[in-house]
Amino acid sequence: MVIGLVLPLILAACFGVSERRETRYVDPDEDGVPWPIDCDDQDAEVGTRVWYLDADGDGLGDALGRVDQCEAPEGAVSVPGDCDDGDATVYPNAPELCDGLDNDCDGEADEDPADGEPLVQGFPDEDGDGFGEGDGAALCALPEGWVTVSGDCDDGAPGVFPGAAVVCDDEVDQDCDGLSDCGRWLEGKLGGEGAVRWVGDAYNPLDGAAVVADLTGDGVADLVIGSSEVTGSGHGGVYILPGPLPTSGQHTVEPAAWLIKGTTTRTPPWAPGWWWQTSTMTARSTS
């Protein structure tokens, strides 16, 4: 019974010694780096070295080409970060060139070229009418479908762009001037207090100016009354009272985006610093 008990203990001790010896043989300094790649396996402070393959020879390697060993492999460097290891002009902090590439590996191409080529401000032109929309971008060269002129108010409609021919009564702003329909011109005589308009530091009575004309083209006279927003430039807004006009009582005043301009300007000889407008008033529809 005693002999049977001692034998297993001896065998267990032997196996334990073998396991410890194997550990010391694989990693003698017990730094966690095994002996084939540990550059000094007698010093736990020294482990392996990391290298990165540098296929294009620009001095920076590809992080995906990592090699752990003591001696540098041929064509390897110790610094990673190359975003295109097949092009020697592409690496972190490289001069940015106008070549469509992200030379400096910052995630943007051609954003600040160092080769002296001027950037062109371009705008995407989705409808191909020659006018782009939006803020655009500074580019070395215009991509296909980009133009150098902005201002399109509807880049999905090729017939809508600044200066386009206006089609009346379709409620579309073809020429991008902010107005959805054709303007109508009308002329008539000023009447009332606004027949003479003083411009200076005193008063501005053009809010009393009025003109009667067939504004809507329906054969019925409409009344246009100048608003107090009309200033010294001779331009401003008016109120439209569409006809037929009532003979008594109240009439609804609808604000409208119209321009008003007097056609005759005179300076009184007794007041050189003043001038007046009289005679004909012209209004242009902007709505």
Instruction: List pLDDT tens digits, range 220-278.
Output: 777 666 554 444 444 445 556 667 766 665 555 544 434 444 444 444 444 455 444 43
Among 182, 201, 220, give the residue marking a domain's end: 182
φ, ψ (nearest 5 deg) of residue 52: -130, 130
**Minimum mean pLDDT among 70-84, 98-112, 115-129, 209-223: which range?**
209-223
Among 182, 201, 236, give the residue marking a domain's end: 182
Is the pLDDT at 9 greater than 80? The verdict is no
Q: Count other C-beta atoms under 10 Å from residue 287's C-beta.
A: 12
Structure tokens at 121: 């401000």
Among 139, 154, 182, give the residue marking a domain's end: 182
Indicate whether 21 belongs to any domain: no
Higher per-residue confidence, 36 vs 120? 120
164 and 194 share one domain: no
Cα separation, 140 vs 123, whole angstroms: 13
Structural domain that includes position 212: 185-285
Domain count, the chain: 3
pLDDT for residue 186:
41
Cα separation, 82 vs 88, whole angstroms: 9
pLDDT for residue 192:
39
Is the pLDDT at 153 greater than 80? The verdict is yes
User: Sorting pLDDT into bands at 50, 70 and 90, what band is 212?
Assistant: low
Indicate whether 4 belongs to any domain: no
Across the range 7-17, mean pLDDT stands at 43
Indicate whether 86 belongs to any domain: yes
Amino acid code (one letter) for 34: P
153 and 196 share one domain: no
Average pLDDT across the chain, whole number: 68
154 and 95 share one domain: no
64 and 143 share one domain: no
141 and 230 share one domain: no
**Minimum mean pLDDT among 49-58, 122-131, 263-272: which range?**
263-272
